[in-house]
Structure 1
Amino acid sequence: MASADLLLHPVRLRVVQALLGDRALTTGDLHAELPDVPVASLYRHVGVLADAGVLEVVAERRVRGSTERTYRLVPAAASVGPEEAAAMGPEEHRRAFGTFVAALLADFDRWVDGAAAVPGGLDAARDGVGYRMTGLWLDDEEFAALLAELRGVLAGRLAHGPGGSRRRRLVGTVFLPGS
């Protein structure tokens, strides 16, 4: 199975997203985060990702006669490479982008539903939620420099683990050429 086909399945994409931030989770932990995914389906998709090397087993323990595994994401295996992306046709790119946007929308819906259910309700500023589009005039060299700077900014924070007042935050990026 090609990595785009592997990663761009809606359930597998959500599993990958749940493990972002160097998290180690059991299938039970994953089910608690993805309660709308049937357990059997979740186990099947976790198995597919593990068999493909996208997830690695970092711990095992015996629980009531069975083995509970703890998984961690293998970041290098959890993305579509530049060669595969270059070989994708228009419909494959549309499907990939559509899956990405659908996953982003589903994450946003889960935040809205969860925030609306607590006292104080929706407060995007308090929760650090934002979305905006900006137009920049950049030549190819300037754009490459921007990408390098953004990678540096994010790389400096990827080593942060959970603890204290830290919350896991999802950062999604989309770059499109303007017309």
Structure 2
Amino acid sequence: MATADLLLHPVRLRIVQTLLDGRPLTTAQLREELPEIPVATMYRQIAVLVDAEVLDVVDERRVRGTVERTYRLRRERVEIDAAARAAMSTEDHRRAFTVFVGGLLGDFDRYLAGEPADPTADGVTYQQAPVYLTDEEYRAMLAEIQASVTARMGHEPGPGRVRRMVSLVSVPTGPR
């Protein structure tokens, strides 16, 4: 497992998100998908992720006198486990949430800047729903959501399939 500090860097987080679906990508392909990240920054942050064993180099080949590497994400290294989350301070959680929300805003801005952006036709949704649940009922609901998303994560890209990023935020808004 990588540390929260490692994963919560905005550029590293974008690289990890791009590789979440399991596709191995070269640095050139990552640059195509993340054109707003300067080249030197991209290479530097990929090196940090490789050194931390978050990315594996799965292939190397010579291209015009340089070595082109292909990377794959080690999913088990990007999950901040319960013990690590429990050890985080309030300020650590605030920073993590800020980076998370910033990532969501960036994803949405990039989507809207694409042509043509049609949130209704594309099924974009952002909504809140208050639910009153015991801790046990809440854990069961989260398990159901996780099972539903996990069951669909193995789908391969193909005709009619659009890559969608599903995000979940849950915050208590009343007294316990």
CA distance in 1 between counterparts of 2:38 and 2:147 reads: 38
CA distance in 2 between counterparts of 1:50 and 1:128 reads: 35
Moved over 3 A (4+): none
CA distance in 2 between counterparts of 1:172 and 1:60 reads: 33
| Displacement after TM superposition at 1:153 (Å) | 0.6
After superposition, where does 1:64-75 map in structure 2 within 5 Å? 64-75=64-75
After superposition, where does 1:94-113 map in structure 2 within 5 Å? 94-113=94-113
After superposition, where does 1:2-41 map in structure 2 within 5 Å? 3-41=3-41
CA distance in 1 between counterparts of 2:122 and 2:60 reads: 35
Residue number in structure 2 paired with 1:81: 81
Residue number in structure 2 paired with 1:127: 122
CA distance in 2 between counterparts of 1:14 and 1:8 reads: 10
CA distance in 1 between counterparts of 2:160 and 2:60 reads: 29
- Give the gaps of 5 or more residues in structure 1: none
| Displacement after TM superposition at 1:11 (Å) | 0.3
| Root mean square deviation of aligned Cα | 1.2
- Deviation per CA, 1:40-79: give whole Å up to 9, x if none: 1100101101111111112221111221111111111112
CA distance in 1 between counterparts of 2:23 and 2:123 reads: 21
Residue 62 of structure 2: SS of its match in structure 1?
strand
What's the TM-score, normalizing by structure 1? Answer: 0.92
Determine which structure has the larger helix proportion and give its number: 1
| Kept in 2: contact 1:26–1:68 (CA 8 A) | yes
Q: How many residues align?
A: 173
CA distance in 2 between counterparts of 1:128 and 1:154 reads: 16
1:149 aligns with 2:144: yes
Task: Please tell me the residue identity of whatever aligns with 2:49.
Answer: L
| Displacement after TM superposition at 1:89 (Å) | 0.7
Equivalent of residue 137 in structure 1, options 123, 132, 137: 132
